[in-house]
Amino acid sequence: MLTLTDSGLYCAAGNFFIDPWRSVERALITHAHSDHARSGSTSYLCAREGVGVLRTRLGSNASITGLPCGERLRLGDVTVSFHPAGHILGSAQIRLERDGEIWVASGDYKLHPDPTCTPFEPVPCHTFITESTFGLPVYRWPAPDDVLTDLHAWWRTEADQDRVAVLFAYSLGKAQRLLAGLQSAIGPIFVHDAIHALLPAYADAGVRLPPVQRFTPDAVRASGGRALVLAPPSADPSAWLNTLGDLSTAVASGWMTLRGPRRRRGVDRGFVLSDHADWPSLLAAIRATGATRILVTHGTSAPLVRWLAENGWQAKALSTRFLGDAASESSPVPATSSPTATPAPSLPDPAPQAPSPHPD
């Protein structure tokens, strides 16, 4: 049903691409992160909840249509629908059905609770395309509430010593998830412009966040050392970090599970908080679909493919231009380009069969 081309996953029967790597005529988008939503396509279709953040990212001139989650739409010979992925606001899995055969492209997803987006919804299917950003058994997330407790203790300790707390987190998704859980009574919260620009889309979607101030060095210095500054990892700190006086730095990311990434970032603290599925969640999500065929992409695919094959699934890796979600998780590994400019072979359709829970 899907073919891997030099522009990404293509559905010839419906004449559309899913999360294309370059400009195409019709793009179906799982979510608004830059490694899934590229500018320049003629038209975009996404989950209705994600229209605001996608338009903020792609610009006001982009032709974007939102489809309510669960509502089915006929495109050529294929019926498509969007289903919540739990990754960020508006993130969705894309379900494709043709002649009784069902595929689901997950995009990025997580199973842990997040007050800023709709929870992951298992979708029964024959073939499931899963991400594997954190596709190693070592990645097992702590409870989000425990992470927030530790984060607040760090901020409170720094505030009591008149040190500014600077927390690096990706501007779309992670930053808003943190804001939804931060205790603003500790001190004022300042956000980088890249984060501030996305807040209206969250407000329009009905996501309630605490009051924040736009970051300027002067405003932070005037706060008396009790401030928390939220900034994306891509923000060059050399231009402003040293102007804030005494401070402490931290990163919120799944990569903080390992010591190496935190050491390379040169921060004082690392908080393990991810908008992706950890190893147990990947396995739980795959089982919940009832799929017998799993295609693994976006990350550390080989160990997950091997584990699935050893446990009864048909599994293979699916090439991508991206290694994990480097943009949204501050990956310590640079994104790489796996496919060449030559179209890859078509992905063969397995024989149709009714979706059912996969045996352990």
Residue 172 has pLDDT above 60, yes or no: yes
Looking at the fold, whether 89 and 182 belong to one and the same domain comes out as no
The answer as to whether 114 is a domain residue is yes
Q: How far is CA 318 from CA 18, 105, 124, 339, in A?
A: 14, 12, 20, 10
| Alpha helical stretches, state H, the chain | 51-58, 144-160, 174-181, 193-196, 199-204, 217-222, 259-265, 279-289, 301-310, 326-329
**In this structure, are residues 293 and 313 in contact, taking their beta carbons and an 8 Å threshold?**
yes
The answer as to whether 249 is a domain residue is yes
Spatial distance between the Cα atoms of 188 and 227, rounded to a whole number of angstroms: 5
List the CATH number of the domain containing 203: 3.40.50.10710
Looking at the fold, whether 255 and 286 belong to one and the same domain comes out as no
The separation between the first and the last C-alpha atoms of the chain, rounded to the nearest angstrom, is 27
The answer as to whether 110 is a domain residue is yes
- pLDDT 10s digits, 269-279: 999 999 999 99
pTM of the model: 0.89
Spatial distance between the Cα atoms of 358 and 128, rounded to a whole number of angstroms: 12
**In this structure, are residues 180 and 115 in contact, taking their beta carbons and an 8 Å threshold?**
yes
Residue range 44-52: average pLDDT? 99
Looking at the fold, whether 107 and 21 belong to one and the same domain comes out as yes
| Secondary structure letter of residue 187 according to DSSP | S
Percent of the chain with pLDDT over 90: 81
List the CATH number of the domain containing 10: 3.60.15.10
User: What's the confidence (pLDDT) of residue 322?
Assistant: 55
**In this structure, are residues 273 and 254 in contact, taking their beta carbons and an 8 Å threshold?**
yes
Residue range 282-307: average pLDDT? 97
Looking at the fold, whether 36 and 116 belong to one and the same domain comes out as yes
pLDDT bin (cut points 50, 70, 90) of residue 341 is very low
Residue 109 half-sphere exposure, CB side, CA atoms within 13 Å?
A: 31
pLDDT bin (cut points 50, 70, 90) of residue 238 is confident
User: What's the confidence (pLDDT) of residue 358?
Assistant: 32
The answer as to whether 349 is a domain residue is no
Least confident of 5-9, 30-34, 265-269: 265-269
The SS3 assignment for 117 reads: coil
User: What's the confidence (pLDDT) of residue 356?
Assistant: 34
- pLDDT 10s digits, 173-187: 999 999 999 999 999
Domain that holds residue 220: 144-271
**In this structure, are residues 6 and 339 in contact, taking their beta carbons and an 8 Å threshold?**
yes
Residue 115 has pLDDT above 80, yes or no: yes
Looking at the fold, whether 187 and 255 belong to one and the same domain comes out as yes
Residue range 339-352: average pLDDT? 35
